Amino acid sequence: MAESQGGEKTEKPTAKRLADARKNGDILQSKELSTAMVVMAGVAWLAVAGPSIIEAFLNMLRQALRFDRGDIVGFAPAARGSELLGDVALPVVGTLAATLIAAIAAPALLGSLGFRPGAFAVKASKMNPASGLKRMFGVHGLIELVKSIAKVGLLGAIGLWVVWDRVGEIVGLGRADLRAALSDLGSIFIFACLAMAGALFVIAGIDVPGQIMQRSKRLAMSKQEIKDEYKEQEGSAEVKGQQRRRMAEMLNSSARAAITDASVVIMNPTHFAVALRYKPGEDNAPIVVARGRDDLAIAIRDLANENGVSVLQYPELARAIYFTSRVGRIVDEGLYMAVATVLAFVFRVENRMASEMDRPFIVVPDDLKFDADGQKIIN
């Protein structure tokens, strides 16, 4: 059972795991959302600037078919071409800019915008034909195939519906004036594209939650991995240096800075005091930031009261933490449940969801019970 708990990836990824994944190019992304936003941005721009774009192309065509003696005498095809392209440059650049902004906005909405050199690194697994075949014919490849078929079917059905609904209008375009026919054709085209873009957003609405679930599952960690990661960080020279500086600051300021940063102080009731800090997203487990006995315990209690830090009396738990944990280290694993219960109660009190009358009863494991001299209590 212990092996199962250590091997199953049931825990959310730590901040370091997420940062490493982003650095290596493993980010939350959805091709369906990007496609939908690019198509919608392009169609919206065409809907707004369509008439001016058509007019610019017509003007370019008129200018290209018109020439005089000066064009023959002073033949300059490069200048002439630049002049003609200048008439349509602004509308075309506007379309490209709209789609480019949409392409950038899609990953920004998913919190994945940024340049990551690790994503461009050569990976042998991607060059291995066997790995490529596995991706193509594996579960992921099958899901992508089903999504592609569904997307083609949905968009095809919408296109067929638009044509069928306006077949009479389309047939009548051949008898209309050219300018009016182009205007009507443009309206039909814009309507069809808007309908298809809307369908793409529906597909993206299904794809994005699926991508979130897949990435969460891919980056999930086991309890053992979290412990190993914390030990690795704790053993690094940088972290050791930070711990030494932090402890020096505590000694120089009589633990004032540490108490200010604490989440709770647990006492017994005047002989022992331990200050714990736990910040979700920063700490993987509760950390002892200060501890003391007798006069130092009283000083810790007074500092906590001055800085608005909750002070709770749990004699057995205070002694257990004091004799099993050092300053700057996480609490003993056997005390996780008891400490988590205390921290949850403090959170509820701070958010006015509980009062002192709701203070929970804490059970300390028998093998972690100590007397005032640090000797284990044998029941």
**How far is residue 180's CA from residue 173's CA, in Å, rounded to a whole number?**
8
**How far is residue 200's CA from residue 106's CA, in Å, rounded to a whole number?**
13
Six-digit token pair at 188?
Answer: 């039909």
pLDDT tens digit sequence for 191-200: 888 888 888 8
Q: One-letter amino acid identity for 290?
A: A
pLDDT tens digit sequence for 283-311: 888 999 888 887 778 888 888 888 888 88
Answer whether 52's CB lies under 8 Å from 110's CB: no
The mean pLDDT value for 161-177 works out to 74
Inform me whether the pLDDT recorded for 373 exceeds 60: yes
**How far is residue 208's CA from residue 146's CA, in Å, rounded to a whole number?**
16
Please list the residue range(s) of the chain that carry CATH number 3.40.1690.10.
Answer: 237-368
Measured over all CA atoms, what is the biggest interatomic distance in the chain, rounded to whole angstroms?
114
Angle at 323 between CA 321 and CA 326, to 5 degrees: 75
pLDDT tens digit sequence for 48-105: 877 777 777 777 777 777 776 666 666 667 777 777 777 777 777 888 888 889 888 8
Predicted local confidence at residue 61, as pLDDT: 76
Superfamily per CATH, domain 237-368: secretion proteins EscU (3.40.1690.10)
Among 151-160, 254-263, 339-348, which stretch is predicted with the lowest mean pLDDT? Answer: 254-263
pTM here?
Answer: 0.47
Among 117-126, 263-272, 343-352, 354-363, which stretch is predicted with the lowest mean pLDDT? Answer: 117-126
pLDDT range class, residue 131, cuts 50, 70, 90: low
The mean pLDDT of the chain is: 77
How big is the chain, counted in residues? 379
- Helical segments of the chain, H only: 2-7, 15-23, 31-64, 69-73, 77-109, 124-127, 129-137, 139-165, 167-171, 178-219, 223-235, 237-252, 256-260, 295-306, 315-324, 336-350
Closest CA to 140 of 215, 250, 60: 215
Residue 45, number of CB atoms within 10 A of its CB: 20
Q: What percent of the chain has pLDDT over 70?
A: 78
pLDDT range class, residue 2, cuts 50, 70, 90: very low
CA distances, 325 to each of 34, 112, 226, 287, 351 (Å): 50, 39, 19, 9, 29
